Amino acid sequence: MVAPSTSTTTFVGLPEPSVGTLTFNATEMFTNSEAKCPISEYTLRSTKNGPLLVSTSIKITGSTLTIDKNVVTTLDFFLQAETSSGVKASQPFNVIIKQNQNNAPYFKPDLPSKFSIELVKGEDGEIKDNSIVKFTSPIAVDDENDEITMSFDTKGKTYIQMNQNSDNSFSMSVNKSGLELKSQSILIQISIKDDH
């Protein structure tokens, strides 16, 4: 006697479509109590004991069930096992492959929109301060836990140094001696992205 090992196999929210396939061993999905009458064939059926399933995204080769992850699909089908004496058993499947939403990474809490630096001037009005001001940003997070990459554009201001930290924050250092005497606003561009 041949019988499915479980009543229903359901895959919901499989990894987002990408290059490659998911594979399953059909021999692990059926039990056969008749050693003299082994399972000789596995087929895919659109209904139990119904016609063969025609699908470009799901196929059975020998005892290997293959599901193409490139195709967004919802499909109900049966994997049928048949012994050499013609005894059949079917394992129902419900496959849902969907595109997961990929949200952009963000800083938590939000970055401040302005970073102010006070300058120390001498009696002659010249800057008497060559100290370095440092700022560490909040940590950037990604809802899908993708790797985060940052890039910085200081518009050619060499007295401003910026780099990404291992915890996905960034550090900025400003050498005050490079600043002009007058009040000024310097636009700094920070780009943040994940690996998708």
Whether 148 and 93 map to the same domain: the answer is: no
Encode pLDDT of 21-49 as tens digits: 788 888 888 887 777 788 889 999 888 77
Whether 46 and 85 map to the same domain: the answer is: yes
Asked whether the predicted pLDDT for residue 151 surpasses 50, the reply is yes
Tokens at residue 113, please? 């929109």
* Chain centroid, CA 187 distance in Å: 32
Whether 90 and 131 map to the same domain: the answer is: no
Whether 63 and 121 map to the same domain: the answer is: no
**When comparing pLDDT for 151 and 126, which is higher?**
151
Please answer whether residues 27 and 66 qualify as being in contact, where contact means their C-beta atoms are separated by less than 8 angstroms: no
Whether 68 and 127 map to the same domain: the answer is: no
Q: How many domains does the chain have?
A: 2
| Residue where one domain finishes, among candidates 56, 73, 97 | 97
Whether 115 and 160 map to the same domain: the answer is: yes
Asked whether the predicted pLDDT for residue 89 surpasses 50, the reply is yes
182 three-state secondary structure: coil
Q: Domain span at residue 52? A: 2-97
Asked whether the predicted pLDDT for residue 78 surpasses 80, the reply is yes
Whether 11 and 92 map to the same domain: the answer is: yes
64 three-state secondary structure: strand
pTM of the model: 0.51
Whether 78 and 111 map to the same domain: the answer is: no
Whether 113 and 147 map to the same domain: the answer is: yes
178 three-state secondary structure: helix
Q: Please report which confidence band the pLDDT of residue 106 belongs to, taking 50, 70 and 90 as the band edges.
A: very high
Whether 77 and 117 map to the same domain: the answer is: no
| Residue where one domain finishes, among candidates 97, 127, 161 | 97
Encode pLDDT of 59-72 as tens digits: 899 999 888 877 77
Whether 93 and 9 map to the same domain: the answer is: yes
Question: What is the percent of the chain where pLDDT is above 90?
Answer: 24
Asked whether the predicted pLDDT for residue 121 surpasses 80, the reply is no
| CATH at 52 | 2.60.40.10
176 three-state secondary structure: helix
CA nearest to 148, candidates 108, 115, 113: 108
| Residue where one domain finishes, among candidates 97, 117, 133 | 97
Residue found by looking up tokens 């058993």 in the block: 89
Whether 15 and 62 map to the same domain: the answer is: yes
DSSP the chain: -EEESSS-EEE-SPSPS-SSEEEEEGGGGEEES-TTS-EEEEEEESSTT-SBP--SSEEEETTEEEEETTS-EEEEEEEEEEETTS-EEEEEEEEEE-PPP-PPPEEESPPPS-------B-TTSSB----EEEEEPPEEE-TT---EEEEEE-TT-TTEEEEE-TTS-EEEEEEGGGS-SS------EEEEEE--
Encode pLDDT of 136-148 as tens digits: 999 999 988 889 9
